[in-house]
Chain A
């Protein structure tokens, strides 16, 4: 593709649209769309965090009025407002607790992690990293973010309809989710299914853009194995999502028909099979956790070489390993169902594939450690969060080995051990990876630096409080505490664990409080942060070759790429970095 023809040509440069609506609301600019995704993710993170607060309050002090609820007058609680109906005189009834953990999971997975790690990061970075002027299908891109906005509104409305929000867990297992009388939720569950199906449609459209842009709009010289890991991982995530989500969209429609049209796909009394839903859900659900996780890992993999001033260790191996993990992720799903009553002959093969899938991820972890080895390591905030991903993810991987093997899983299935495990893995990717990415690419997104001191306080606060919250959860789980119970004090054998539950809850509140540091830093830096130069971290990838923030058309001239993205401390060069687009006299040709 030359610079004089094709979609990358100079005549493809359009002036930025004028007017607030075209510029910020219905924009086709991938950078604006990325910020819209970021805004949606951060909004839902607050709602998801509040639900976590209420969950932890209930588990530590079951039945006690929520702190602060005493400030409202008695008359308010006698009223029929939504809040008064949901919390009975300030305390959390079991029915509302079911809604809380259902919506916490749904929100955090579908409406925080995906918009943040795929929507915001993928949209912002892919065109900039491949040297394109925008996504391949800018209007489709706008449609995808607005479909997510509609899904968000529907999910938000579901809190307030009669009967309240969905209450059958984020996995929505039938028959509980299929028969309205069982969970006493009617429209909340219907709207949940519609919102989730729309969210899937949104990310399918996004994924098409990711792949098409990467395949067709790469800058001259940017061969596939010169792509940054972030682009690779976003594309692999898009493929995993595409291949896995179809059965669940069909399943969601079938479940909706069970609820609304009297069919019995999943209802045993009508001849249906509830296990079918579990298979369809987890056939999607397991690749889905990698869809979330690998862009978070990619953020760490991008950041580690920059602040160790060393090439990424095993670039090709990491790409191949992720292909392998992606392939394996389609044949591990039944490890979520060892206790479901499925055919027991499936337990052994799925245990084996599950243990196998730890190999490519272990390889990724070793590549991260080897990248650090012998480097000149600096510790600005993005690097701390990237190291946080590494540390926390190792912990999550270790507990995964217990969950993955059927004989061990039978004892810990559905306990807080599993809750601890998936918070260690998904929190590592979403939270630490997401924050690493925000701290690292904030200068490129908004043209200003985040405050590093506040960032470091934020990191250490988050890291310590996170481990204080979720490490003891393993013990509570091994002690036998089940997931999704509203009141642990109802069980004699859980009484001795209650002090630990109180400790976990207090740590969780400290963790949430620590995020205020980030909120203050984010908004303060947005208006008053130090102005960022084009390449504040002295990094190699293409997004740093243009201004911060980039102009509407991204690059004044499309850069030509001469080398891979991780040439740090190369021999024979004065600086300790060598950008992908900088020609070296006598260097390798541009047409690799």
Chain B
């Protein structure tokens, strides 16, 4: 196992806090609902990617690891696909 520099976990944590605060505060800004939902989801995705890259060390692993990280994404896609008819188009 090759050595690698440890990321600055505290800095990542501060970034996560800032982003969380941002997604709460953005709801106070008047803007169209779909836009706000998009912004909140983009911020959530950025936070998830930060956690995966640094806390889960994906950034410091070989490319093969990314193929493993695909599995939960596929699960998520299946779950959402099956949820759609029940949640979105429900009368």
Cβ-defined partner of A279 (8 Å) among B75, B83, B90? B83
Given the contacts A243-B71, A346-B85, A273 and B90 also touching, CB distance less than 8 Å: yes
Q: How far is the CA of A246 from the CA of B75 in the complex (A)?
A: 11
A349 and chain B: residue at smallest CB distance:
B82
Q: Are B86 and A244 in contact (CB under 8 A)?
A: no
* 18 new A-B contacts at CB < 8 Å, known A273-B86, A275-B87, A279-B86: A242-B72, A243-B71, A243-B75, A246-B72, A247-B79, A273-B87, A273-B90, A275-B86, A275-B90, A279-B82, A330-B75, A334-B82, A342-B86, A343-B85, A343-B86, A345-B85, A346-B82, A346-B85
A459 within 8 Å of B (CB atoms): no
Query: How far in angstroms is the closest Cβ of chain A from B88?
Result: 10
Q: Please tell me if A331 contacts chain B, counting CB pairs below 8 Å.
A: yes
- Which residues of chain B have C-beta atoms less than 8 A from A242's C-beta? 72
Q: Is the CB of A279 within 8 A of B72?
A: no
A441-462 CB mask vs B (1 if < 8 Å, else 0) is 0000000000000000000000
Which B residues touch A470, using CB under 8 A? Answer: none
Cα separation A242 to B75 with both chains bound (whole Å): 11
Which B residue sits closest to A275, measured CB to CB? Answer: B86
A364 to B82, CA, bound (A): 29
A279 touches B85 (CB 8 A): no
Q: Does A276 contact B (CB under 8 A)?
A: yes
Interface check A233, CB cutoff 8 A: no
Q: 1/0 contact trace for A323-336 toward B, CB 8 Å? A: 00000001100100
A234-260 interface with B by 8 A CB criterion: 242-244, 246-247
Specify the chain B residue showing the minimal Cβ separation from A287: B75
Tell me the B68-91 residues at the A interface (CB within 8 Å): 71-72, 75, 78-79, 82-83, 85-87, 89-90
| Interface residue tally for chain B (C-beta within 8 Å) | 12
Cα–Cα, bound, A342→B83 (Å): 9
Chain A interface size band reads: 10 to 19
CB distance from B67 to the nearest CB of A (A): 14
How does the 8 Å CB contact mask read for A385-423 relative to B, with 1 for contact and 0 for none?
Answer: 000000000000000000000000000000000000000
Tell me the dominant secondary structure on chain B's binding face: helix
**Smallest beta-carbon distance A555→chain B, Å:** 22
Instruction: Determine whether A200 belongs to the interface, using a CB cutoff of 8 Å to chain B.
Output: no
* B contact set with A: CB distance below 8 Å: 71-72, 75, 78-79, 82-83, 85-87, 89-90
State which residues 182-216 of A face B: CB under 8 Å: none
Q: Which 9 A-B pairs have the closest CB atoms?
A: A343-B85, A275-B86, A342-B86, A243-B75, A283-B79, A243-B72, A343-B86, A279-B83, A330-B75
Structural contact, A276 and B83, CB atoms closer than 8 A: yes
How far does the Cβ of B20 sit from chain A's closest Cβ, in whole Å? Answer: 15
Which B residues are in CB contact (< 8 Å) with A346?
Answer: 82, 85
**B83 — which chain A residues lie within 8 A by C-beta?**
276, 279
Q: Which of chain B's residues have a CB closer than 8 A to the CB of A246?
A: 72
- B72 and A276 form a contact (CB under 8 A): no
Q: Evaluate whether A276 and B85 lie within 8 angstroms (CB atoms) in the complex, with A244-B75, A247-B79 already known.
A: no
- Pick 14 A–B contacts, CB within 8 A, sort by A: A242-B72, A243-B71, A243-B72, A243-B75, A246-B72, A273-B90, A276-B83, A276-B86, A279-B82, A279-B86, A330-B75, A343-B85, A343-B89, A346-B82
Q: How far is the CB of B55 from chain A (nearest CB, A)?
A: 13
Q: How far is the CB of A217 from chain B (nearest CB, A)?
A: 12
Complex CA gap A275/B85 in Å reads 11
B-side contacts of A273, CB under 8 Å: 86-87, 90
Fill in one digit per residue for A273-307: 1 if any B CB lies within 8 Å of its CB, else 0.
Answer: 10110010001000000000000000000000000
Known interface pairs A243-B71, A243-B72, A246-B72. Does A331 touch B86 (Cβ–Cβ under 8 Å)? no
A330 touches B78 (CB 8 A): yes
Smallest CB–CB gap between B45 and chain A, Å? 15
B86 CB to nearest chain A CB (Å): 5
What A residues does B75 contact at CB under 8 A? 243-244, 330
Q: Report B-chain residues with C-beta under 8 Å of the C-beta of A279.
A: 79, 82-83, 86
Q: Give the docked Cα–Cα distance between A331 and B77 (Å).
A: 11
In the bound assembly, the distance between CA atoms of A247 and B86 in angstroms comes to 17
A331 touches B85 (CB 8 A): no
Chain B residue with Cβ nearest A337: B86
Cα A320 to Cα B87 in complex, Å, equals 35
- Minimum C-beta distance from A553 to chain B (A): 22
Residues in chain B near residue A275, CB distance under 8 A: 86-87, 90
- Bound together, the chains give a CA A556 to CA B89 distance in angstroms of 64
CA distance A242 to B89 in the complex (A): 30
Complex Cα gap A301–B85 (Å) = 41
Q: How far is the CA of A541 from the CA of B86 in the complex (A)?
A: 49
Q: Contact check, A331 vs B72: say whether CB atoms are below 8 A apart.
A: no
CA distance A276 to B86 in the complex (A): 8
- Most chain A CB within 10 A, of B71, B79, B83, B86, is at B86
The smallest beta-carbon distance between B60 and chain A, in angstroms, is 15
Residue contact A331 to B87, C-beta cutoff 8 Å: no
